Structure 1
């Protein structure tokens, strides 16, 4: 494994963010996309249940509704129709733009590391006017560490225990936000170093963190 990032690294401040339910509320769009997929394929899907547990790759969710041999092709179709149904309805979460701006104000770099298909993630960010310095898709849980290590991220912010695991695997400080499916107790149990109710509190926390780095 590559050398782990240190919470007090002398390297320029680099902060990674998850996408779904960290920077954006993708529930309305994903709900609409699953309903469209269900109507097209004739397979019943409880879209409300699906959006209550966002985080893992779409293939993991589709395996709950489709036979194993159909999952890959169905995932491809899900991604094909995604821009039509999922981008416009999905807003930024409170504090998302300000969180990115807070890193930049301190001379730092931002990256988004997500399990989502990268072209779909890029469409979301472009639609909402959120511009990280780097975007890396199709990485989940511990696999997110690859991108965090490559970019030297000292901090990774996410809403899921999988995000906490990715941060820890990279030796980055894990900041959990309770805007997704995992509550504070779950994030803490997974090893989150810091827990915030949402990103509106992130800029103040980041200033304190940056001061502690010297």
Structure 2
């Protein structure tokens, strides 16, 4: 779907050593089945109604931002801890990789670069997903959302950040990294473009070829 790809005249920000950051949920993994199952289990455990089908339409922001829709504010922290403790036994095996995820990470590493994951997900659970699926990033940083992601992107000198949410676009731009968006999450291509994404791809299957063309063009 080359017609979905768009580029801007963003300046060259490629360092001598390439580091590419990736979001996790709905970028590298289709976390909807696992998260849905975990919310259903949380609802059963607590006796609280949760529309699990609705929750998976708005993935991206931190867990607390979803829990506040179903629990009083004073219970959110405890419910987040409970959800995270239940998560490994419920959500990991139910969650597949997104199409092209393995090739996207491998393409960066084959080019001599480093692939890091920067996600709002609880770090230990993010690592469990990546290990279970055999995805091998060089670093995993959790618990960072939107502009907060710039902290890790700057620390690791990432020149590109790939994500599916407008929050990922904001994180990339705050870090001064090229924002590459994939229209596989809750935000469509038009919304990602409007948020300031430098490049919009249909999904990660397009990323290796885009990266191969991007590097020689700026060599």
Please report how far the alpha carbon of residue 213 of structure 1 lies from its aligned counterpart in structure 2 after TM superposition: 2.5
Q: Which residue of 2 aligns with 1:194?
A: 199
Conserved in 2, the CA contact under 8 Å of 1:7 and 1:172? Answer: no
- The residue correspondences of 1:18-167 to structure 2 (distance < 5 A) are 18-167=23-172
Q: Which ranges of structure 1 fall in alignment gaps of 5 or more residues? A: 1-5
Partner of 2:180, secondary structure, is: strand
Structure 1 outlier segments of 4+, above 2 Å = 6-11
* Alpha-carbon shift at residue 105 of structure 1 (Å): 1.2
TM-score normalized by structure 2?
0.94
Q: Counterparts of 1:55 and 1:29 in 2: how far apart (Å)?
A: 14
CA distance in 1, matches of 2:12, 2:100: 23
State the Cα distance separating 1:7 from its structure 2 match. 3.5
Describe the SS at the equivalent of 1:156.
strand
- 1:8 CA displacement: 3.3
Corresponding position of 1:12: 17
Q: How many residues align?
A: 209
The answer to whether the Cα contact below 8 Å between 1:16 and 1:111 also exists between their aligned partners in 2 is: yes
Partner SS for 1:21: coil
Q: How far does the alpha carbon of each residue in 1:71-129 deviate from its partner, in whole angstroms, 9 at most, with x for none?
A: 00000000000001100010000000000011011100010000000000000000000
TM-score of the aligned structures, taking structure 1 as reference length? 0.96
1:205 to 2:210 alignment: yes
Shift of 1:159: 0.2
Equivalent pair of 2:15/2:159 in contact (CA under 8 Å)? no
Q: Which runs of 5+ in 2 are unaligned?
A: 1-10
- Aligned with 1:157: secondary structure? strand
Contact 2:183 2:202 in 1 (8 A): yes
Q: CA deviation at 1:43?
A: 0.5
Q: Give the secondary-structure state (helix, strand or coil) at the position aligned to 1:94.
A: coil
* 179, 182, 188: which one aligns with 1:183: 188
How many Å separate the matches in 2 of 1:182 and 1:153? Answer: 23
Contact 2:40–2:50 under 8 Å retained in 1: yes
